[in-house]
Structure 1
Amino acid sequence: MAEPLGETIWGGPTKRFFVSMLTRDIELRDAILDLIDNCVDGATRQLKGKLKGARPYDGYIAHLTLSNKSFDISDNCGGIPQAAIKDAFLLGRPKVEQNIPTIGMYGIGMKRAIFKIGEEASVESYAADGAFHVSYTRDWLDPENDEWDLPIETVRNKKQKGVTVVIPTLRPDVARQFGNATFINGLRTAISEHFGYLIQKGFSIHVNGEALRPRTLQLFSTNSPKHIGIRPYDFESDDDGVHIRVTVGFYRPLVRIEEIDEEAERPHETEQAGISVICNDRLVLLNDITIKTGWGDGGVPKYHPQFRGIAGFIIFSTDHPEKLPISTTKRDLDVGTDLFLHARRFCMEGLRECTEFTNKWKGMEDEASKFFGEAKRQDVRTEVALAAKHGTAVRGDKTARKLSAGLPIPEKRNPMRRISFTRKEDVVRKVSTHLFGEPDEKPSNVGQECFDRMLKASKK
């Protein structure tokens, strides 16, 4: 056994790790979402976690302005109080904040976003007990510079309390992306999806002067669970201080057989198929169609285009963010946790019900469409509460309630069957001329006419 030397060696991080390496673990878009997360957390602290009512965040706003020259984000969410200044600028949080429904546990979001986006930056905070300015200079952000002290100075306070992050000089690759309209539009969409439920609750987000609208999931649901029709599977429970909600159903009618190939080539822009995961009102995983959320496991078939109408949510809500099954980037899951596996099990129940319904009505989508016509699309988070209102108890879990979808079953099966084959173009044109008097009729119509004539002959 080696004898101790009685000395110590430095075991801390290097500037290069944080400035150059840690930023590789996060996409540019996600770094910006981190900054908005901080704004929301500020508003939540101002509300002291009292988030009752439909729109508790009314009046709170975050403004983002970005171009190929610069980036800034400002809010009116209360600022950073004096007691929290040191922790706010540490690279890592010494302790997890309790009694607030956040997803910020690691204390690296704002700093990593600054490192990702710019070559220099400043942070200004205006709080009830004081105002200050912190600078990230080019020298400080140099990976070769191991100086960690940040210059801070007090500034004159303002009436509006909040935080402003200004990045006047962008990294070259970031400048290129910020100058691309496709990136800006994608960012708007990502913000509308990621913060959709917070926007519904009153939090306002503007990008380059445009107020964003929430993008949230709506599923078909009948008004009464006693009525046979289309409604989602719904489950909820409480597990060690975390409220779990699982809802799986149909956001659109069944895909007809003849539509499958066509839609695979040209998917709808509003495609919402798959399971999304929300943690404390932030979207962590969007429209997943993999084994991660149960597809292709435990009796659930692998995702197929015929299941394109199926969508749903796994939702976790808690004032103890360290219990949430999320990664440091806040955009991926720790799928091995007991909490997530527990929720996933009920998600799979919902997927089995919906995929079985799809299979039973395969080839009879027109007959099934009447049930969708009798239902209406409702917002999953704000309008659907089937388990809470009508659910039954779940064995082994006193806090849990669930309501199966109870989807309709065909009385008599006489499904449609697809006939598909190919022939050389000159032959198809010849048959088209024979049947229609012209060679350019659609091949599908040529095939249909051939079948109809043979069917008529078979009945004689």
Structure 2
Amino acid sequence: MESKKQTFFKGEPTKDFFIDFLTKDIALDKAIIDLVDNSIDAAKSQKSLTESHYDFSDNKIELFINEDEFIISDNCGGFSLDVAKDYALRIGRPDGIDFAKNSIGRFGVGMKRAVFKLGKQIYIESKCHNGDHFKVEIDVDKWKNKTIEVSTTENEKFEIIDWNFDFELIEKQSESRLDKNTFGTFISVKHLREEVKEEFRSNVSIKKLIVDLETTLAYSLENGLKIFLNKISLQPRPILLLYSDLVKPYAINRKFGDISVDIIAGVGEPSPDDAGWYIYCNDRMMISANKENLTGWQGGKNYFSDTGVQKYHNKVAMFRGLVFFNAEDSKLLPMTTTKIGIDSDSKLYKSVRELMIEAMKIVLSKLNEIDSHDDRKNIVDNTEKKDVKDILSNLTQNFYFPNPETNSTDSSISMKRISYQVDGKLFENVAEFLNTKTGKTIGIETFNYFVKMNDLDEIN
């Protein structure tokens, strides 16, 4: 019998595409943060929101990095065999698979892309409360060439690409790399890529990774999560806003179906490096200090038409804008696969961007009135630096900001700087009495005491 002619072209991807091309789409530090994201999502899947946040005080993630091996381990609950088969170890997320609520995982490439980015000998172990305990060992070079022989109805044999990963059940504690009473995940990568080895040899690169973790995951750290990198305990680096009775950020909340969006625009200490917009999805930072047209400024990449907002200039280096997207279903969030960008074509993001522009215009109009370094310093010296999460519930839509002294005729909202020297011993005595070490606090307390004792509160 004459065999049928092939009437199709092969459309499946090659493994080389996944291993080499897709891994180039993400920086090394972001790939590592992707693995930490997976641990956090695992922890979220076993918890409930309390007062709009998760309590991670019982969760720990440890990273060990050197030029020979990368290790990440956690006690965040692990993932089951079903999750591993249906999603965690598949290339991409199939339809019908549920997401952990309020997670960051969405596209089904994060863990696989990250470990392939790192090296060629991969060990993944997971142990969960339901009793599932298994390991997966991947030799990338062997897996890349792995095929399956299949036969047609006409007994013709040919090979197809085998994308599967083999797993083994772990039945003895001696076979496990997780502690006896730990339910979580352990990942080790050896035979690191040369460019990865070079990065891991660099103290500068390690310090940068620490800062990136502390900044990107600040709010998970604030909620009790413990992260260690080479035994260094990481501390949160949230965005701080200046706050006082006279200085308060603009803030609004909007609902877009099942998505909640908070937009806060205010001021921080003058810093060109820190100025700009910060965008979060489910408390994970996606964009930091952005001053391009993506977030409403003129100049930069021309994603949108004219916004009526100036091109960034260091004169407005006090500007800080924050956007928090929150949704139970991460598919609704406007983020890119690498989680270091925002999908500018998203209908949701375009709507939110318009609100960001409105907020930015209000704040920049005030910042542009300040020409004096001393005026900026006065504002900084007479305000507190606060994490926006600590003040979010007390914010109103109005933006409060003092008029610069040169343009203000209302002494009730102008600000003055007081600077003087005193005897050192007397300073120490007063500092001890007030239980403080800062001259700023002493100055404010003694000034307020004088005002109160002389009934000057209502002076005109």
- 2:355 is the counterpart of 1:355: no
RMSD after superposition: 2.3
Which residue is 2:132 aligned to?
130
Contact 2:44 2:54 in 1 (8 A): no
What is the deviation of 1:53?
6.8
> Does the C-alpha gap of structure 1 residues 6 and 216 become closer, same or farther in structure 2, counting only changes over 3 Å?
same
1:343 and 2:352 are equivalent in the alignment = yes
TM-score by length of 1: 0.76
Please say if 1:366 is aligned against 2:354.
no
- Tell me, yes or no, if structure 1 residue 285 matches structure 2 residue 287: yes
- 1:139 alignment partner, SS class: helix
Unaligned residue ranges in structure 2 (runs of 5+): 148-160, 174-179, 299-305, 409-460
Structure 2 CA distance for aligned equivalents of residues 290 and 328 of structure 1? 20
Partner of 1:457: none
CA drift of 1:113 comes to: 0.7
Moved more, 143-152 or 8-17: 143-152
More divergent stretch after superposition (13-22 vs 29-38): 13-22
Alignment partner of 1:147 is 2:162: yes
Deviation at 1:312, TM superposition (A): 1.9
Q: Which runs of 5+ in 1 are unaligned?
A: 224-228, 256-262, 392-402, 415-460
User: In the TM superposition, what is the alpha-carbon distance from 1:374 to its structure 2 partner?
Assistant: 3.8
Q: 1:283 to 1:53 in 2, by over 3 A?
A: closer
Q: Residue 144 and residue 176 in structure 1: after superposition, are their counterparts in 2 closer, same or farther (change >3 A)?
A: farther
Distance (whole Å) between structure 2 residues aligned to residue 411 and residue 180 of structure 1: 49
Residue correspondence of structure 1 range 79-98 to structure 2 within 5 A: 79-86=78-85, 87-95=87-95, 97-98=98-99
* Residue deviations 1:229-287 (CA, integer Å, cap 9, x gap): 221111111111111011111111xx5xxxxxxx8xxx7xxx42111110011110110
Matches within 5 A, 1:429-444: none
Equivalent position amino acid for 1:20 in 2: D
The total of aligned residue pairs comes to 375
In structure 2, distance between residues paired with 1:348 and 1:187: 32
Q: Deviations over 1:391-440 (max 9, x none)?
A: 4xxxxxxxxxxx121433347549xxxxxxxxxxxxxxxxxxxxxxxxxx
Q: Any residues of structure 2 matched to 1:38-437 within 5 Å, and which?
A: 38-47=38-47, 49-52=48-51, 56-86=55-85, 87-95=87-95, 97-98=98-99, 100-128=101-129, 129-142=131-144, 146-156=161-171, 158-223=180-245, 229-252=246-269, 271-296=273-298, 297-363=306-372, 365-367=373-375, 369-387=377-395, 391=396, 403-410=397-404, 413=407
8 Å CA contact retained: 1:140, 1:147: no
Q: CA deviation at 1:306?
A: 0.9
Letter in 2 for 1:113: A
SS in 1 for 2:211: helix
- What percent of counterpart residues are identical? 28
Write the distance in 2 (CA, Å) between the matches of 1:191 and 1:319. 23
The one-letter amino acid paired with 2:228 is H
Task: Provide closer, same or farther for how the CA distance between residues 412 and 168 of structure 1 changes in structure 2, counting only shifts above 3 A.
Answer: closer
Which has the larger displacement, 193-202 or 295-304? 295-304
CA shift for structure 1 position 139: 3.3
The Cα offsets for residues 133-163 of structure 1, whole Å up to 9 and x where unpaired, read as: 1011143344687432322110036421001
Q: Secondary structure at the match of 1:46?
A: coil
Deviations 1:341-369 (A, max 9, x none): 22222222222122211222224x43465
Equivalent residue number for residue 29 of structure 1:
29
Question: What is the TM-score when the length of structure 2 is the normalising length?
Answer: 0.76
